[in-house]
Every structure is written in structure tokens, then in C-alpha cells.
Amino acid sequence: MSGFPFSAVLGMDDLRLALLLNAVSPAIGGVLVRGEKGTAKSTAVRALAALLPPVTVVTGCRFVCDPARPDPQCPDGPHPGDGPAGQRAARLVELPVGAAEDRVAGSLDLERALGEGVKAFEPGLLAAANRGILYVDEVNLLHDHLVDLLLDAAAMGRAHVEREGVSVSHAARFLLVGTMNPEEGELRPQLLDRFGLTVDVRASRDPAVRVEVVRRRLAADADPVAFAEQWRHADLATAAQVVAAQHRLATVVLGDGALRQIAEVCAAFDVDGMRADIVIARTALAHAAWQGREQVLAEDVAVAARLALPHRRRRTPFEEPGIDQQTLDEALQRAADTQPPGSAGTDDPGPENPGPDDPGPEDSGPGGGSDGPDGQGPTAPGEETSGDSGSSGSGPTGSDPAENPTPSSGPGATAPADSENLGRARLLTASGVGRGVPGRRSRARTGSGRTTSAVTPSTARSAGLHLPATIRAAAPQQVSRGRERGPLMLRPHDVRAAVREGREANLVLFLVDASGSMGARHRMQAVKGAVVSLLTDAYQRRDSVALIAFRAGQAQTLLPATSSVEAAVARLRQLPTGGRTPLAEGLHAAAELVRVQRLRDPDRRPLLVVVTDGRATAGDQPLPRAWLAARSLARSGVGAVVVDCESGPVRLGLAARLAVELDARHVPLAEVTVDRLTEVAGTQIAARATHRGRVA
């Protein structure tokens, strides 16, 4: 046995249970594992593959067809019923973050497809993962269109490849497991909902557990073979229990009472759609089979809801996932109270007929009867479980002023920005056409979008074949190639690639004035509310964000460039105010952060959002120094927006002057979340003329 044994993974009971339930019933839809770094997420997933039973395959089939039920549309088929077959271990296929769509879904031999009319298909990772495990580490960093592709294949059990009118379809039934660190950014709610189960994991805070984790890791590193042998019997017992549960699954009964409990729970947590009900039903069936029961009980529904609901319940973008245990218990009790006597699936199950692999009523963990070498279960005494880690109540996260600011009086006031009623932020974009990470903000050359031109593949960033241009390039050469009739003969230099224009994600750098003048008359509450709206917009458009605040004579980078918009909201909530206004220092700090970020990621364009009233009171000649720093930023090509927070009957127009020096768009604070105008940040001549006219 190679790798770290599954039974030796200490703690993480919910993680192990979610993985094993998906092994019992892949129809659940996979597992999303959220957790801090260094919590054995990847170790547990890789160890699971060794527990899965071997698969019988058609010999020579690249798509892992089952000889008992071959795929009628298999590109390597048709397969005769009495053809050669063999067995091999279930495969774990890892999808790298930087994989292209062709590598994931597969690609066509274009020369053979166009010249000979044959579907010469080169399988991708989806084909390799058929009847196995597809593992995506850092799934939140994967491009959204690839995540969509994976989840569609996992839901339908098939992968479809369309390339310029040539279509291929093959089976793609796999256990999908994604891991992510929430500090690096969240998945969109629409994608979160497509994962069957989710688990939040964190390292135990119990010193005894941490000592045992280190002891096992060092033992595995020192002698992997001996360590694997030490845990071999425990893993074999767990693997046998998986096989037994798979066979038992078809006979488990999901009664009307259990269905009523599932519906009551989903209604109590106000989840959207019906996917949650279906996933909980499938998970409860798998859990009952895992426990050796022939009927789904209330405890099966409770476990299934705890794993299937945290990422589905209605929540704001910055609210931590989780469910309230009391709400879950009350919903189950209501369902039990309304059931007629004798209904199946109640809390009184009646006599049970446990299977031979039933681990007993006290064993609710994923290890079942898998004892470690010391005769104990794989969970150490005093060990913490991960089931409730990261859980929160089902309601809003609180009434922090950053999310629920009191509207200020006067012309500069904004609407309340509580977590449920944020206004939609005005679209702020960088000027020109970029070539950065696909997203939803600024124009860019991307792999998706409308086709604008055709180029030779090596001359520019392109996205797939441009078929008409390829044919136009090859057609005049057919006579010289001896093809006056018949199929088109292609040469590599005939191929033309499509150039497409879509949208990109940007680095949105918030430079927030937190000086004393901003704190007057509760203005900072309105500012925080407006910035939360802009952060929500950045979250939805897949941007990276950074946060710099300047106050008390200095500028401080509260959050370096990150994909975790949630971290920016947390920093904003804690932002203090007071002191003089070092505007120049803030602009210099922004310029330095942009410079460093361009070295790390030259394709991601920055968009600077300066939130200030334009005052500068710190240091010598504060205003001239600030305008000089602004002109320097403008020359470096940074797109910018100035959110003017000045209020009151007497206005100096300093923020508008700053916008002129930055070549930036000027937006009053009250209009940040107004939907009636379309905003464009950049160097548009009309915008600059408006700013200069305003100042004049």
C-alpha cells in the first residue's frame, strides 16, 4: 500500500464520513472540503482511492467502460458483450488549477476530423476519471467555466465535447471532490449549490490530538511500508464496509415520514430550489446503508442535513456557511409531531434488522469497525470533530456598522447598507482591452466571448479554432498539394485561431480615507456601507481586492492583494478613524502595491478606488504633494475612480480636483449604489473634460 492510510487520518470525522458516503452513493454529487491550510484535506482524499473496490473494464477502452453495461455512445465502441475484460484499481485523477478546457474535456485531431471526416478524439481528464475519483485541489481558484464543465459532467454522468460542429459524448461518472482554502476566495453561490456535500475542517486545538497527528506523520515518513501495514487491517475493514453498503443501498427504504422531515428541514433553512431536498434524501439513504439499516431514520436525515445544507442556506456573500443545530432539531421535531402514528421514518423506528457489517449504535463515525493497531477506533480520546466547526446561526451575521450603517444627513448621505439590502454598485471598469484572468468586469481578450478576429496561433492570445479562416487559408493551396478533389488537406501553418473578447477580473484596490474629517457626523458609517457594496460587486465579478487606509499621518496596507473579499470586509469592520489626513502617503502606498502586484501578476490590471473627501492635512505642503502623487499614478496607467465623500453646505471640491489629477472618474458617495447610470473608469476624453469643467 502506498500513501497515507485512510484509517490513520486522525479526527476530521465529518470529512471522512462525507467521502465514504459519496463512495457508497456517487449520485450524492461529490464533496467540497473547505478548511485552513495544513488540515490533511488532500491526504484524506488521496487515501480514499485505496478503499474503493476495483473496477472491471473493457480491455483497451480509454473511457473505462463496464463490460456488463458498456456505453452505447463510447467513442471506442461499440463493445461486444463477450469481448475481453479485465480489472484495475479505481483511479484518482487530479485536475491541476492551470488546466485548459481541452485538457479537461478532451480534444479532437483537427487535421483528421477535417481532412478524413473521422472523429479522432483524444480523451481528457473527465474520461480518465470515469468510475473513479476526480480531485480538484484549490477548486476556488479554477476558472468558473471549468468548474461549470466539471459540475455539469458530474450531475449528468456524461461529458459532451463540441468542436466546430463535431460532437463527441462519453460516460463520465466519477466522485467529484474539491478542496479549497476560504482565505483565498469563495466559489460563487451557484457553483457551491452544485456540490452535493460540504465539510468545514480545521486543525484540532487539543494538544493530545496534535501530538498524535505529528507522531503518525513522522512514522509514515520514516517507514511508509511498515506504517501502511500497521493500518492495513483497518483500511480493509473500512473497504469491506463500503462494498457492503453499496450492495445494501438498493434495498434501503425512504419512507414518507423521512421525506416529510427532509422537506421540513429545507423549508426551515429557507434554501432555494429542490436540489437540497434531493441531495439530503440520497445522503440519508447512503448513511442508512453505511450504518447497516434497511430504513432511513431521523438520525440519518440529521446527518445528511448537517452535510448538505451549510453551503446552501440563504446567506449574504460575506456570511460564513453553517447551520444552527437548534433550528435543525426543531424542524425534525415538528416533522415528527405532525406525522400520523405508525409512519415510516419517525424517531421510533421499531425493531431493526442490522446487517452483519453494522458497527453498532455507538459508532456514528466514518471509521465503522475500522480499529487501529491499538484496538481503539481511529479517533483518539478527547478528539475534536469537525462537524460543527465554522458553523454559525441561520440568520444574518450581526449588525456591524460596516454592514448596517446609519444614513448620514445631508447631500453626502447614502442609503442603509445592511447585509440584506445592499444596493447594486455602479459598474466601475478599467479602460482599454486587457488580457487578464477571465471575470466579469473590464473588456479583455479571453477564452470565451464574441469572436473578433482570427490569427495564427503563435501571434496572440487565442481561444480555439477559427474554422472559416482555417478553410480560407487552406483552400487556395489544395491544387499545389495535389488535392483538386476530395477532402481538404491541411498543414499546420493553415490553422487559424479565434481571438475572442470577453470580460476580465481586475485587482480592485480600495484606498480609504479614515482620518478625523471622515469620522465626523457618522460619515464613516455611510462610507463603510458604500465600500461594502463595492466589495460585494467585486465578489460577484471574481476580482482580487486590496485595502489601504490612511489616517493619523500614515498609510497602512490592511489587506494585500487577495481573492478573499471576505477578509476585506472583516478588515473594513475593524477600521479605526481619527487623526490628520496623509493623502499623499496613501497614494504612494497605492502606487507601491500596484508596482509589486504587476511584478507578480502582470496580466491582472488594477482599478484604484479612492474613497475620500479630498482633504490633505498631514506633512509639508500636503495638497501639492498629493496632486503630484496623483499625477504620477495617472502616468503609470492605473485606472482610477474617486468616490467623493464631501458633505455639508460648503464644499471645497478637493475630491473633484484629485479626480482630475488622477485622470479618474469622479463619483459622489451618494451615487455609488445608484443603478441609473453606467460608469466607466479610465481616461475617456469626455469624462476628463467634465472633471476639468467642474473644477474650473
Check if 275 is active-site: yes
Cis ω for the linkage preceding 351 (within 30 of 0) = no
CATH class, range 250-353: mainly alpha
The model scores a pTM over 0.85:
no
Estimate the crossing angle of helix 256-268 against helix 275-290, to 10 degrees.
Answer: 130
Is residue 516 within 8 Å of 543, Cβ to Cβ? no
pLDDT, tens digit (0-9, with 9 covering 90-100), for 87-144: 888 889 998 877 778 888 887 666 666 666 665 778 889 999 998 899 988 888 777 7
What residues does CATH 3.40.50.410 cover in the chain?
Answer: 506-695
Among left, alpha and beta (phi > 0; psi -120 to 50; other), residue 292 is: left
- When the candidates are 2.60.40.10, 2.60.120.920, 3.90.1150.10, 3.40.50.300, the CATH number that belongs to 1-66+85-223 is 3.40.50.300
Report the range out of 300-309, 469-478, 680-689 with the highest average pLDDT: 300-309
| CA–CA distance, 34 with 86 (Å, rounded to integer) | 37
Whose cell is 457626523? That residue is: 521
What residues does CATH 3.40.50.300 cover in the chain?
Answer: 1-66+85-223
Which one of 103, 112, 210, 275 is the catalytic residue?
Answer: 275
Q: What DSSP string describes 406-424?
A: PPPSSTT------TT-PPP
Half-sphere exposure of 35 (CA within 13 A, CB side): 27
| CA–CA distance, 489 with 487 (Å, rounded to integer) | 6
What residues does CATH 1.10.8.80 cover in the chain?
Answer: 250-353
pLDDT, tens digit (0-9, with 9 covering 90-100), for 514-566: 888 776 556 677 787 778 878 877 877 778 888 898 988 889 888 888 877 77
Amino acid 317: pLDDT = 59
Q: What cell was used for 409?
A: 444627513
Amino acid 575: pLDDT = 80
Amino acid 188: pLDDT = 72
pLDDT, tens digit (0-9, with 9 covering 90-100), for 638-667: 889 999 988 777 778 899 999 999 999 998
Amino acid 670: pLDDT = 82
* CATH number of the structural domain 506-695: 3.40.50.410
pLDDT, tens digit (0-9, with 9 covering 90-100), for 383-442: 333 333 333 333 333 333 333 333 333 333 333 334 333 456 677 777 777 776 777 777
**pLDDT band at 449, cuts 50/70/90?**
low
Q: What cell was used for 436?
A: 487578464
Amino acid 163: pLDDT = 64
Estimate the crossing angle of helix 298-308 against helix 275-290, to 10 degrees.
Answer: 130
Q: What average pLDDT does this structure show over 221-243?
A: 92
